[in-house]
């Protein structure tokens, strides 16, 4: 099932999505579960996180946090998706560090990006959470999700949960990404997409035409919610 909501602009989009996300996390917690939340990188994601930090609701000390992809750079690099999430959200809401799982950094203990991908796959597997509750995804203008890019072999990997990327067309080149099967092992995927520059990718992602190789977002088969602003929705 796919649900689409369109909001006036990026700020309205972020505020509306933050309210829904806080509400969903709270609802999951009310059942006694620890919500399994996968964060994305990206510009509009940062706006979402800032809005989310201002919304009362979930007990952030009981939310388990993962990443869908990460740039394989030094741990203190501002380029890291976890750096962006910590600044905008995690450092402001009081999470339990034992429940926050950043992907390995280039200056960490892994020998290279392949080893780092394998290490994170072990972490995901070892957590016992064999599926997520909500996977957040941004969308590239080329239709990429996480660090799964059009025409790349990583888009089609089925036998692993996490892959290494060494030739990302979106800098930096080295990245770690959850695979499509892993991204789909979730109750829901929530897309957050802003701006006219994404309108074509949104239309291609939601059409019945085209291949996953051309538009990786089409590989998301989990129940999805699309949070768009008017620019991103302008070709629907
Ligand atoms: C990354 C992101 C990537 C991002 C999209 C959209 O590491 O770069 O995870 O998948 O979500 O490229 O990014 P923008 O919202 O900045 O366009």
Spatial separation of the C-alpha atoms in residues 233 and 195, rounded to whole Å: 8
Comparing CA positions, the residue from 15, 128, 139 lying closest to residue 68 is: 139
Specify the pLDDT at position 235.
Answer: 98
Quick check: CB of 143 below 6 Å from ligand 1?
A: no
Check: CB of residue 14 under 8 Å from CB of residue 235.
no
- Residue owning the nearest CA to atom 15 of ligand 1: 42
The answer to pTM > 0.95 is: yes
Specify the pLDDT at position 57.
Answer: 87
Q: How far is the CA of 113 from the centre of ligand 1 (A)?
A: 19
Spatial separation of the C-alpha atoms in residues 73 and 48, rounded to whole Å: 23
Provide, rounded to the nearest whole percent, the portion of the chain with pLDDT above 70: 99
Mean pLDDT of the chain: 96
Q: How far is the CA of 189 from the centre of ligand 1 (A)?
A: 15
Specify the pLDDT at position 1.
Answer: 85
Check: CB of residue 116 under 8 Å from CB of residue 103.
yes
Quick check: CB of 193 below 6 Å from ligand 1?
A: no
Quick check: CB of 195 below 6 Å from ligand 1?
A: no
The verdict on whether omega for the bond into residue 172 sits within 30 degrees of 0, i.e. cis, is yes
Task: Measure the CA angle with vertex 45, ends 112 and 35; round to 5°.
Answer: 80
Quick check: CB of 81 below 6 Å from ligand 1?
A: yes
Q: What is the three-state SS of the chain? A: CEEEEEECCHHHHHHHHHHHHHHHHHHHHHCCCCCEEEECCCHHHHHHHHHHHCCCCCCHHHCEEEECEEECCCCCCCCCHHHHHHHHHHHHHCCCHHHECCCCCCCCCCCCHHHHHHHHHHHHHHCCCCCEEEEEECCCCCCCECCECCCCHHHHCCCCCEEEECCCCCCCCCEEEECHHHHHCEEEEEEEECCHHHHHHHHHHHCCCCCCCCCHHHHCCCCEEEEEECCCCCCC
Q: How far is the CA of 139 from the centre of ligand 1 (A)?
A: 6
Specify the pLDDT at position 108.
Answer: 93
Pick the atom of ligand 1 nearest to 194's CA: 15
Q: Which two tokens stand for residue 224?
A: 């999805």
Write out residues in the chain with pLDDT < 50, as ranges.
none
Check: CB of residue 207 under 8 Å from CB of residue 171.
no
pLDDT in tens, 146-159: 999 999 999 999 99
Pick the atom of ligand 1 nearest to 146's CA: 10
């Amino acid at each position: 099932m796919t649900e689409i909501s369109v909001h006036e602009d990026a700020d309205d989009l972020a505020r509306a999505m933050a309210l829904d996300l806080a509400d969903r996390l709270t609802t999951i917690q009310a059942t006694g579960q620890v919500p399994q939340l996968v964060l994305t990188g990206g510009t509009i994601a940062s706006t979402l996180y800032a809005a989310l930090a201002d919304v009362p609701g979930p007990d952030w000390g009981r939310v388990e946090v993962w990443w869908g992809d990460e740039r394989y750079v030094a741990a203190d690099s501002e380029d890291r998706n976890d750096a962006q999430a910590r600044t905008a959200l995690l450092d402001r809401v009081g999470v339990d560090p034992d429940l926050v799982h950043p992907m390995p950094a280039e200056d960490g203990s892994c020998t290279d990006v392949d080893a780092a991908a394998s290490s994170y796959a072990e972490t995901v597997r070892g957590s016992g959470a064999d599926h997520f509750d909500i996977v957040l995804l941004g969308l590239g203008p080329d239709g990429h999700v996480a660090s799964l890019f059009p025409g790349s072999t990583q888009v089609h990997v089925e036998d692993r949960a996490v892959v290494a990327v060494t030739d990302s067309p979106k800098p930096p080149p080295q990245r770690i990404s959850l695979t499509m099967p892993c991204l789909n092992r979730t109750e829901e995927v929530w897309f957050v997409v802003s701006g006219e520059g994404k309108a074509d990718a949104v239309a291609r992602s939601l059409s019945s035409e085209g291949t996953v190789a051309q538009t990786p977002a089409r590989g998301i088969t989990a129940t999805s919610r699309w949070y768009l602003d008017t620019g991103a929705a302008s070709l629907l």
